[in-house]
Structure 1
């Protein structure tokens, strides 16, 4: 979403240009301003609806649930509760990144696991994940 806001500069620049041209008498027409305001408003409305709808849809509910993860050298076990869960094999992970917030494990286009630094119970858990990622040549 951060990079999407730069596209609002185009309708804003067109609106300012329309106002300047109108009030300097060079080109007296309001259609430029109206089109820029409506276009910018539609842009904001489109992305607002996209993000709001994503949180309200039933099929996206699982994205906002809390999961428990068990990480070992064979797999990552994703647990919804004590009886339900799934397995992510290490060979499905394409790459990994480490930054100041934690670890990103890229699974596919738009699919990733993010392990923030505060989810690790100890420094050893964090070192274990990092050593597994290095052994798998992901980090």
Structure 2
């Protein structure tokens, strides 16, 4: 069982017993529609201004040859860019490598690692340094994975594209999958000790 990643990172497996101190959750399945909605929101909040680049480039000839056709071409270029970037995000839900992201998994959290279990023998292990950031929302947490290091032989424009057009991969941890309010509070406190959330009290249950 492999954790999906566009560059092939985070391919760790576990076939060991659970940590006795781990916070264990009920099984949860991230559906493709939810992933697409959340990933789209994250990408376009960060990259909306990229869509201005093809628009401006399409208008540049109008400085020399004024015509409404250049405005039309600029709009077409912008739409094509938006469709292309959006297709990159929705494509994550279609490829074979990403299927584990949308399986029904139980989570186990301790101070050293996160284990995503398909069953007692199969699962994936992540260390906390693989988590880039954590967002707390109204009904749970989103743990976003860091992008893996780029290959050293990837140079020039290809390296720039790989760095700036990555697709977010994250774990969704809803409050409802915790077995008790106390488990949720322990998890919240764990994140705050690791400086992944502000040091305020956990929300009331």
Larger CA Rg, structure 1 vs 2: 1
CA separation of 1:66 and 1:33: change in aligned 2, threshold 3 A: same
CA separation of 1:40 and 1:94: change in aligned 2, threshold 3 A: closer
SS in 1 for 2:76: helix
| 2:74 aligned with 1:36 | yes
| 2:140 aligned with 1:102 | yes
- Scaled by the length of structure 1, what TM-score is found? 0.65
CA distance in 1, matches of 2:129, 2:52: 40
Q: 2:172 aligns with which of 100, 114, 119?
A: 114
Indicate the residue corresponding to 1:62 in structure 2. Answer: 100
What is the root-mean-square deviation in Å for CA atoms of aligned residues? 3.4
Indicate the residue corresponding to 2:84 in structure 1. Answer: 46
CA separation of 1:42 and 1:112: change in aligned 2, threshold 3 A: closer
- Any conservation in 1 of the 2:115–2:123 contact (CA below 8 Å)? yes
CA distance in 1, matches of 2:128, 2:90: 33
Unaligned runs of 5+ in 2: 1-39, 148-167, 198-205
Shift in Å, 1:84: 0.4
Q: 1:87 aligns with which of 95, 102, 125?
A: 125
| 2:166 aligned with 1:128 | no
Shift in Å, 1:118: 2.5
Q: Deviations over 1:104-135 (max 9, x none)?
A: 44552455433222222321110121233344
Higher relative contact order (CA 8 A, sep 6+): 2
- Scaled by the length of structure 2, what TM-score is found? 0.48
Shift in Å, 1:65: 1.6
SS in 2 for 1:67: strand
**Number of equivalent positions:** 128
